[in-house]
Amino acid sequence: MRYKKLFVKFKLLFFLFTVFFIHTKAQDYIFGKIISEENIEMPDVTVINIRTDERVSTNHDGHFMIFGRQGDELRFVKSGYERFNKKVSAENISSPMNITLIRTAALIAEVEIKKGLTGDIKIDSKSLNPPKKVEKLKSDLAVYMSQKSDPRLLAPRAGEFVQPKGQGFSIGKVKNKWDDIDFMDYLTKALGEQYFTDLKIDKALIQNFIYYVFAGGFERKNILKYGYCSDADLYRFQRFVLTRISSYRAPQTKK
C-alpha cells in the first residue's frame, strides 16, 4: 500500500513537471500595433525578434504579428524614426502590445560667424569667408563660362536626326542623374549601417549585398533617372531585401 502511494505521487510530480516544461518552452504569436507621436498608424515598420531573427512588417493599419515567447526582445525599425527595443512580458502574450515610435531629431549644422553682422548684405558677404572648395568651384566655373564652345561639338553626327529650325526647341535624351553607386550611397546613409548589420551583413559587404539586391530585379529606373528616392521607394527596397536575404546567405552555388 505504501509503495502504491509513492508511485501515485511520483506520477503526479512527473505530470506537473511535464506541464511546467511545456509551458516554459512554449512560444506564442505576439500581436501589437505601432503608432507615431501624432497617434498615426504606421505601416511598413520592421519588427525583429532578436532571439530568433524573425522579421515581419506592419500592415497599412500598423498591426503586426510575430512568433515569440515571454522574455524575447523585439526591435522596431523604421527610417526617420528612433529604433525602439521592448522585452516581451507575460501581459504581452495575453494582450496586444502597443508601441509608439519617436521621430529622429534633425540636426542643423552649426555655423560659426567670426565677425558681427552689420545688416548690410554687401559688407557682410565680404566679411564671411566661404570654404576654399566653394571659391575654387566658382573660379573654375567662371573660366569655363568665359570660353567659347567649339562649333564641331554641336555639329550633328552622320545619320543623326536634326530637328528642323523653327519655333520651339528640341530636348534630347535625358541622362540619368544617378548611377547605381550613387543610389547605393544613398541607401547606406538613409537606412544606416546598423540596418544591414542587423541583417547580419558585414560592413565591408554592404555595397556587395545592395548590388545583389539590384541584380535580383529591383526596379530603380526612375530613381536613377531623376536622382530621387521617395519614402515609398525606400520601403519597397526594404521589402525586396527580405526576399533576397535568404539566398544571399546561402552558399555561392545556390544563389
> What are the domain boundaries of the chain?
27-114, 180-254
Among 3.20.20.70, 3.30.1360.30, 2.60.40.1120, 2.30.30.90, what is the CATH number of 27-114? Answer: 2.60.40.1120
Q: What is the pLDDT of residue 24?
A: 46
Query: Which pLDDT value is given to residue 23?
Result: 47
Please report the pLDDT score of residue 123 as a whole number: 64
In the prediction, which pLDDT does 140 show? 73
Give dist(CA 189, CA 192) in Å, integer. Answer: 5
Residues of the chain with pLDDT under 50: 8, 16, 18-25, 164-172, 253-255
The pLDDT of residue 130 is 61
Distance (Å, rounded) from C-alpha 255 to C-alpha 166? Answer: 56
- Looking at residue 21, its pLDDT comes to 45
152 vs 147: CA distance, rounded Å: 15
